[in-house]
Amino acid sequence: MSEATVALEVLRYRPETDEKPTFQAYTVPYRDDWVVLDALNHIKDNIDRTLSYRWSCHMAVCGSCGVMINGEPKLSCHAFLRDYYPGKLRVEPLTNFPIERDLVIVMDDFMEKLDSVKPYLIAKEDRPLSAGEHLQSPAQLEAFRPYTMCINCVLCYAACPQYGLGPDFVGPAALALAHRYNLDSRDAGRDERQEVAASNEGIWECTFVGACSQVCPKSVDPAAAIQQTKIASTADWYKALLPPWGKR
């Protein structure tokens, strides 16, 4: 009896030699507990050492291994062969990003956007260590905790139609992270973050398709974060328009 196998088409692009990307076919053993990353590692170790892709933790927390699988953005360590078998798998780099090599995308734009929203605690005042930890109730923690779960895998940028139209949009993960700090009871930096978040390239570019939230492997819901930021920013606008009553 021949062993069950599964066919993969993997996008290859080596900028030094290839004019344009092409697909390469591989056949790997089928195991019902294998993820797509296991198949890629099998190729790398046994069939073709020239295939390049990013990965590390193999447990969906480091965020390295995002790829398109049959057109959908997925973590390759969290997409099981059994969900595609006996069909074929087409594995490509995440869309909306330049390809660096094979399945590896250029991350620069995302890293700059992450930086631009000031994703760190901006406290009202310096709190001495001797004052101990801030008091934060479980309810206050819960208010922002879901937005702390982002692993920066950028699947949401690959899914976002607005980001696909042009790279100006700050994008789902970065805006959700800004929102995370804005909601943190220890933080007082919302005004500083609004410069980017509420700019033309920020929340207002989002057309609320919600694809970001659908593909998020950590259930972060960036779409909700962006909508909530819009509502808060609109309230700011009214307050600014109607002084002094709005400031009460």
Which residues of the shown chain bind other proteins in the complex (CB under 8 A)? 14-17, 33, 44-46, 48-64, 78, 100-102, 104, 107, 111, 114-115, 118-121, 123, 127, 129, 132-138, 140-141, 144-145, 148-152, 177, 181, 184, 186-187
Is the CB of 112 or the CB of 238 nearer to other proteins?
A: 112
Q: How far is the CB of 193 from other proteins (least distance, A)?
A: 12
Is the CB of 88 or the CB of 145 nearer to other proteins?
A: 145
> CA distances (Å), 18 to each of 12, 21, 91, in order?
9, 7, 18
Rounded to whole angstroms, the Cα distance separating 18 from 127 reads 56
Strands 22-29 and 5-12: antiparallel
Q: How far is the CB of 112 from other proteins (least distance, A)?
A: 11
Helix, strand, coil content of the chain in percent (nearest 5): 40, 15, 45
Q: How far is the CB of 3 from other proteins (least distance, A)?
A: 15
Is the CB of 157 or the CB of 162 nearer to other proteins?
A: 157
Q: How far is the CB of 187 from other proteins (least distance, A)?
A: 7
Q: How far is the CB of 45 from other proteins (least distance, A)?
A: 4
Is the CB of 61 or the CB of 232 nearer to other proteins?
A: 61
Is the CB of 185 or the CB of 239 nearer to other proteins?
A: 185
Main-chain phi, psi angles of 170, to 5 degrees: -60, -35
Rounded to whole angstroms, the Cα distance separating 121 from 189 reads 7
Is the CB of 151 or the CB of 198 nearer to other proteins?
A: 151
Q: How far is the CB of 119 from other proteins (least distance, A)?
A: 5
Which of helix, strand or coil describes residue 79?
Answer: coil
Beta bridge partners of 104: 101
Q: Please list the alpha-helical segments (H only) found in the chain.
A: 36-42, 108-116, 138-144, 155-159, 161-165, 172-182, 190-197, 211-215, 222-241
